[in-house]
Structure 1
Amino acid sequence: MKIKKILNNNAVIVDDQGQEKIVMGGGVSFEKGKNDVVDPSRIEKIFILEDQERYGYLQEMLQKLPEEEIAVSEHIISHAEKELNVSFNEHIHIALTDHLSHALERLRSGMMIHNTLLEEIRILYPAEFRIGLYARELIAERLHIDIPEDEVGYIAMHIHTAVMNAGSGAASSGLAALIGDMVEDIEYVLNQPLDRKSAAYERLISQLKSILQSSVDGHPAAELDEEIIIIARQKYADWYEHAQEMTDHAEDEYGYSCTDSQRVLIAIELQRLQERLGHPAR
């Protein structure tokens, strides 16, 4: 591999038998110039991007962003791959690094970061959220910036999206937004805000994830017996009507098609939530 262009101390563009690639590694361009051969022992990542627009953006990003921020982002990605036992595709290196750069810029200027789906993300994606917490410690240690938990949630979602794009069969990253919308509908019907830190709320989110997961990951939902569906629709008629409205919205806004079985299960869970909150039976 011969160097065609040096992007920064840790990234170069190379010619590898006629194919252009971006090579990253600690000190990969140290005491090197154009046409010099890259030291194989310094290579940590190689990028071959056929999307020219994305490829050009990656080059620009590596040239313009602070190297310490790029290094932190790459460390987070490597840690996530190890913890989740998955190999991400190239997009995460652009998406997460770009996101972190803008987030850090906002924090330095004193702007607040607010994540309306923080609790849903924490409950739905605990492994990714732990990686976000690891990222917060790393950023504090290396960049001397304390990021809020809201930003931890955003990092977790970037990692979750990368897992999904890697083909692991994980749920779509839209699931958190979908459930967040459902929770708002439930609060409206109950005329009561739900305590995001409560056990009842955690159970609700977990149950909705379990019910909706089959639609999101492409596998067929476990179908209830038709007779059970008929009985449940009668017994929980009001909540079934609300479940119907919520799942219709899910299909319109998110493309998630739900079955009668799933709507019944949602209605039953909403009835249980109502009882846990001490509301009179509907």
Structure 2
Amino acid sequence: MEGQVIIQKVLNNNVIIAEHPTYEEVVLIGKGIGFGCKKGDHFSLDKADKTFLLSNQQEKEQYVNLLPHIDETFIDFMNDILIHIEKRMGQELNEHIHVALTDHLAFAINRAQKNMQFSNPFLNEIESLYPKEYQIASEVVTMVYDEMGIQFPEGEVGFIALHIHSAVTEKSLSEIHQHNHLITKLVTLVEETFEMTIDKKSVNYHRLVQHLHRAIDRVYQEESIGKEDKLVEMLKHEYPVCYNLSWKLIKVMQKQLNKPVDESEAVYLTIHLQRLTHKS
């Protein structure tokens, strides 16, 4: 994005809302760029460290209302965090992360300063499903500690990872939370059926969770992984408990997602379940 814009509003010394000839409203972020500026001034885009659109009116209002409650140095620091995430992920982030993650981290810092601890029930699933996002979220937590001396609880890494995943997949946080909740429910059903506690750090647990995640994606994309009739008969005969459980899991998925699940999923679920029980 290049060229000149006209300043509409100076939110603080580090953030300007401006009118762009092509993209209409844009938000400019950079250290001290708002100092001495006023509405109607022409401003060169190359002076900003970061330029992004806020086409969603609700997000724009949320961002504008949020900024007065946040220290200006934190906005500058958030810019460093978002540049780090974008560089490490190797792709552009959906612009809603500017609002969502700024909001989240501001409140997380506030909670940490008041010694309020929040657990994250999906932490193991998040680490298993989104390892790259989880690693980068850990780096963000380290950045916050190095910059502000604030130590986040471990669960915070998971929450930040979800924001990163949302920003690179275009999925909403509510959709991601719904899928993670479903996966946790399915894993719990497996543990209850087999009367076992699955080692959440094991390779077989990781494979099962990854498979469930991909199965949910296939449901939404209406993909089939192909019929394996001979394999079905063999699995039904050799591993009846695992095969029956795989169908229980499919029925739970169908009910929660309110969509049909391809019956061929039972084959691969049975294999993952057998690995788990065999390993145990």
TM bin (shorter chain): 0.7 to 0.9
Q: CA deviation at 1:152?
A: 0.7
Which of these residues, 13, 16, 19, is aligned with residue 20 of structure 2? 16
What secondary structure, in the 3-state scheme, does the structure 1 residue paired with 2:54 have? coil
User: 1:49: which partner in 2?
Assistant: 54
Question: Structure 1 residues 212 and 120 mapped into 2: Cα distance closer, same or farther (>3 Å)?
Answer: closer
**Larger displacement relative to structure 2 (267-276 or 216-225):** 216-225
- Counterparts of 1:100-119 in structure 2 under 5 Å? 100-119=105-124
User: Given the alignment of the two structures, is residue 148 of structure 1 paired with residue 153 of structure 2, yes or no?
Assistant: yes
- Which residue identity is paired with 2:193? V
TM-superposition CA deviations, 1:209-259 (whole Å, max 9, x none): 136415405372422422222332333222222221222212222356432
Instruction: Select which of 25, 34, 41 maps to 2:30.
Output: 25
Deviations 1:12-46 (A, max 9, x none): 12233493332222211123233333243321333
Aligned to 1:191: 195
Amino acid at match of 1:246: L
Checking the alignment, whether the CA contact within 8 Å between 2:162 and 2:176 is kept in structure 1 is no
Unaligned runs of 5+ in 1: 278-282
Name the CA distance, whole Å, in 2 between partners of 1:51 and 1:161: 16
1:73 to 74, 78, 83: 78
CA root-mean-square deviation: 2.5
Higher mean displacement: 48-57 or 212-221: 212-221
- What is residue 259 of structure 1 aligned with on the other side? 262
Aligned to 1:233: 236
Mean CA deviation greater in 106-115 or 55-64: 55-64
Which consecutive aligned stretches of 4+ in structure 1 deviate over 4 angstroms post-superposition? 171-175
Query: How far apart are residue 58 of structure 1 and its match?
Result: 1.6
TM-score (norm 1): 0.85
Deviation at 1:195, TM superposition (A): 2.9
Q: Compute the TM-score of the two structures, normalised by the length of structure 2.
A: 0.86
Q: 1:222 to 1:17 in 2, by over 3 A?
A: closer
Q: Structure 1 residues 103, 20: CA separation in 2 closer, same or farther (over 3 Å shift)?
A: same
The CA distance in 2 between the partners of 1:5 and 1:50, in whole Å, is: 16
Q: What does residue range 197-276 of structure 1 map to in structure 2 within 5 Å?
A: 197=201, 199=202, 202-210=203-211, 212-216=213-217, 218=221, 220-255=223-258, 257-276=260-279
| Inter-CA distance 243–78: structure 2 relative to 1 (3 Å threshold) | same
Q: CA deviation at 1:132?
A: 0.7
Give the number of equivalent residue pairs. 271
SS at match of 2:198: coil
Check the 8 A contact 1:124/1:176 in 2, yes or no: no
Moved more, 22-31 or 152-161: 22-31
Matched-pair identity in %: 28
| Preserved CA contact (<8 Å) 2:81 2:140 | yes
Counterpart AA for 2:238: K
| Alignment pair present for 1:6 and 2:10 | yes
- Secondary structure of 2:31's match? coil
Q: Please list the CA deviations of residues 122-150 of structure 1 after superposition, one character each: whole Å capped at 9, or x if unmatched.
A: 12211101111110110001121011221
